[in-house]
Structure 1
Amino acid sequence: MKILVASDTHGDDLILQELLTEYPHMDGYFYCGDSELRASNPLFQQWQAVQGNMDYDPDFPLTLTAHVAGHTIFMAHGHKYAVGWRRDELVAAGQAVGADVILYGHTHVALAEVHQGILVVNPGSISQPRGELASLGGMYAVVTVDDDGRRVEYGTRTQGIIPKLTRTFAV
């Protein structure tokens, strides 16, 4: 399974279009909220999206569970799960649906870690990055899960994938 993950564009729909062009052959496209766009935007025919705290269209779901290539993905923006302080509530929600991958946004800080055997990924913000990697510019993630393990590659809107930021975890 290979998926593209973005979050927190805050009105910048152009970058989502550019990412679709740059990565045309993914198994899935996941958007973790705060687009500030309408759920009816044509972009969300390809990007599976959830509602963030800055999204006011009630047609976005608060959470999403998807099945891709034999994997279960749970996605939420994160603001309802206190992700700025901890991830236990988010992980519990993912466990409840049998997820092996959890995606979230909200903090604008890129993060990849494993909690209780579940890969947890925040792609950072593609438009307003924060944290120690903010100087690199807006970020997104490419997540690969296969027989070799779980790999999270981070890219920026100006540099593409940055190999030194790749994180690999055993299956």
Structure 2
Amino acid sequence: MKIGIMSDSHNNRYAVEWAVARAGDVDLWLHAGDCVPDATYLGLLSSVTVENVAGNTDWPDGKTPDDLVVEAEGHRIFLTHGHIYGVRSTLEMLVDAAEREGADIAVYGHTHVVLQELIQGSGGEVLVINPGSISQPRDGKPPAFMIMTLEAGCAPEIEIVHYMEK
């Protein structure tokens, strides 16, 4: 299963369009917050399901959760924006929340910095990933999104795709 992952699009519809075109055929999209309308737009552009959460700049709409769990290919993915878990300071609360949900993968945004790290939690390892920002990166690199390939019984494969790479 091929999953496109983006975050922090901040109303940059061109960047969302570029990511969809660059990702090609994916089976699912995850949007980790900061512009719920962009996640809706992503759903209009793509013919696959889009799972999304609210970020710190999204006004509560009563419909978009702060976090959710997605099951795919024998993996449980904890999706959140991250601001309520203090991800700018530590990933400990994020990993704890993912473990409480039985997730082996935690996807978050908020920092606008690409990250992929296997972290030992109290109950096992959690793959923690942040796709960075598709529109406003803060790591000195071009805007980015990720493509994660999942296969039951195998470790996830992650591709980081930077803006305008072919």
Aligned positions, number = 156
Distance 2:12 2:41 in 1: 14
Match of 1:164 in 2: none
Match of 1:68 among 50, 65, 72: 72
C-alpha change, 1:44 and 1:93, in structure 2 (3 Å) is farther
Match of 2:112 among 104, 108, 127: 108
Conserved? CA contact 2:112–2:133, under 8 Å:
yes
Deviation at 1:67, TM superposition (A): 0.7
SS in 2 for 1:37: helix
Are 2:131 and 1:127 aligned? no
Task: Give the distance between the partners of 2:150 and 2:130, measured in 1 at CA.
Answer: 16
Q: Which runs of 4+ in 1 moved over 6 A?
A: none
Cα RMSD for the two superposed structures: 2.0
Unpaired segments ≥5 residues, structure 1: 161-171
Of residues 135, 153, 165, the one that matches 1:159 is 165
- Matched position secondary structure for 1:99: coil
Using the size of structure 2 for normalisation, the TM-score is 0.84
- Amino acid in structure 1 at the alignment position of 2:4: L
| Corresponding position of 2:59 | 56
Deviation at 1:62, TM superposition (A): 0.4
1:21 aligned partner: 21
Residue 12 of structure 2 aligns with which residue?
12
Q: Deviations over 1:36-57 (max 9, x none)?
A: 5277x35346321100001114
Q: Percent identity?
A: 35
User: Which structure has more RCO (C-alpha within 8 Å, separation ≥ 6)?
Assistant: 2
Map 1:71-86; keep pairs closer than 5 Å: 71-86=75-90
Gaps in structure 2 of 5+ consecutive residues? none
- Alignment match of 2:145 (pick from 120, 128, 140): 140
2:92 equivalent in structure 1: 88
What is the match of residue 31 of structure 1? Answer: 31
